[in-house]
Structure formats: structure tokens, C-alpha cells
Amino acid sequence: MGKLAVILFFILSVFPADANENRRHIHVVRRGSKKSHRGDTVAKIWIEENGQKIEVAWSELDAADLAKIIDVIDKNWELFNKMIDDVFAGKKVAIKKFDK
């Protein structure tokens, strides 16, 4: 699992196994969960590699939290794509913290 960022009470991450999927995406997981990472995903957000496009695949978040997360992704789109590339290449990434 590649943790990318912490926003509010959520962790944004990718799974190396997702490298082969057709669309690049980020999993949003609630911080402090005792469940497995995949089992506590509360949203999945598509973040396209070729052209800045962000789309919510599905979400259990309230509208305000989802809007904040999308805003951070949008403003840091290139950074997130670089971090995803690094995770998929097997490199370690420093987790970014956003206080929004």
C-alpha cells in the first residue's frame, strides 16, 4: 500500500496492484480504523494521468469532506500523479499532510 497524503481524518493511498488498471485512482480511507485498509475505504476517486480530470467513482463521505479532498487533489494534481508513479515504480514516498 502506498500512502500518499493525510487530509482531515482521511488517508489517501494507492495499491501497487492497481498499476495495471485502466484508470488511475486514489483510495480514501478513514484514519484510525482497526479494519484492513481495503476494507475501510470510504471513497474511490479517479485521477486521470493524461489530462487533469478528477472523477468520484463512489463515496460514502459527506459532501463537505468530499469537496475538501477533491479540492486538495485538484490543487496538487501533478504532485499526486508523481507520487503515484513513484509508488508504482516501487519507490518510497513521503506522506504529505494537508490541513484543510
Helix and strand numbers, DSSP H then E, in the chain: 2, 6
Domain ranges of the chain: 2-98
- Dihedral (Cα; 31, 37, 43, 47), 10-degree rounding: 110
Task: Give the predicted TM-score (pTM) of the model.
Answer: 0.86
pLDDT along the chain (100 residues), means of 10: 89 86 90 61 87 90 95 94 93 89
State the pLDDT at residue 36: 45
State the pLDDT at residue 1: 65
